[in-house]
């Protein structure tokens, strides 16, 4: 955060949005895995707005301090983060033109809606990563 204050501000804003949005979505949809959804939309939006390299940098910094006892959850987070970055990249390359400033007009709103729709499908499918998938690796 100290070395990248402008990015840090955007990172915090997107992180807060992802947490709030995941809470709201989970309240409406009991079939949704909230953690997978949150990681997917967080990384997708960071990738869409900042690029894949910067999104990965922030995700790696966020995930760097997991205790060994949280290994299965950490591994699931890494996989769901990767999915989110892929979704953000696809949204950027296939979606509407990006606005000049983050949070700009309709192109950003359309991209966000696409991210949310795709992440909902992912977090309700058999494809998302869950910590139970990694319990045998401890």
DSSP state of 68: G
One digit per residue, the tens of pLDDT, for the chain of length 138 reads 566 667 778 888 999 999 999 999 999 999 999 999 999 999 999 999 889 998 888 787 777 766 555 677 778 888 899 999 999 999 988 866 555 555 544 568 889 999 999 999 999 998 998 777 677 654
pLDDT given for residue 74 in this prediction: 75
Answering whether pTM is above 0.85, one says: no
């Amino acid at each position: 955060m100290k070395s990248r204050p402008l990015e840090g501000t955007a990172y915090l804003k997107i992180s807060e949005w992802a947490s709030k949005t995941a809470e709201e979505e989970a309240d409406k949809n009991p079939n949704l895995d909230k953690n997978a959804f949150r990681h997917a939309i967080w990384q997708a939006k960071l990738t869409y707005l900042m690029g894949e390299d910067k999104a990965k940098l922030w995700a790696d910094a966020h995930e760097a301090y997991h205790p060994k006892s949280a290994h299965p959850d950490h591994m699931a987070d890494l996989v769901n983060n990767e999915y989110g970055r892929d979704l953000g990249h696809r949204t950027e390359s296939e979606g509407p033109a990006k606005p000049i400033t983050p949070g700009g007009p309709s192109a950003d709103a359309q991209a966000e809606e696409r991210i949310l729709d795709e992440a909902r499908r992912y977090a309700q499918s058999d494809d998302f990563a869950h910590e139970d998938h990694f319990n045998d690796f401890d």
